Amino acid sequence: MHQNNLKIFYPLETGKDNKILRTVCEEVEKITPEIKEFGKILLDLMREYDGVGLAAPQIGENIRMIATTQRKKFPNEKNPDKDYLGETLLINPEIINTSKEMQTSEEACLSLPGDRGFVQRHQRVEVKYQDIKGKFHQQKYSGFNACIIQHEIDHLNGVLFIDKLIKEEKNGH
């Protein structure tokens, strides 16, 4: 499928009350050729929408699959490619360990255009998942990358970042 047509065939699901975005996704039971093709599409669309992550339900598929771009939060302006750490496609991702330490950062979402807010998440997470070949992995993420993973896995559970917004203190009180 021509890349310019991807947004037509897989438009972004948007809105805080969108039924697809509020549904717990189903496990991928078998890595079929269709699942592999969808994984490529998910990665392509993440790039096309210029996101740091994209979950299957955001483009209308009720399956447990996410695409992420792992990179540093503050890219090197002189050489932006220097901070790029790679893309990952995670099938049936599950957080198996979290740090007690928390971090607060501002988040946004492709499915909630114009919405931004501060969310508290674990500083470090360990995730178990399958890759597109069906191989199992365990990966540790920290900082900004941990936030991305938690945000995208929330999508698979019907949770949006706006459900987790924290109240900002005004004038330090």
> What is d(CA 173, CA 169) in angstroms, rounded to the nearest whole number?
6
Q: Return the pLDDT at 10.
A: 84
Q: Return the pLDDT at 1.
A: 44
Segment holding 147, helix H or strand E:
helix 143-156
Fold category of 3-164 in CATH: Peptide Deformylase (3.90.45)
pTM score > 0.85 for this model?
yes
Q: Which two tokens stand for residue 116?
A: 């931004």
Catalytic residues: 152
* Mean of per-residue pLDDT scores for the chain: 89
> What is d(CA 151, CA 95) in angstroms, rounded to the nearest whole number?
12
Q: Which two tokens stand for residue 88?
A: 């990952």
> What is d(CA 137, CA 19) in angstroms, rounded to the nearest whole number?
31
79-124 per-position pLDDT tens digit? 555 556 689 999 999 999 999 999 999 999 999 999 999 999 999 9
Say which DSSP state 13 is in: P
| pLDDT less than 70: residues of the chain | 1-5, 71-85, 167-173
Sheet holding 124-130, edge to edge: 53-55, 65-71, 84-98, 124-130, 136-142
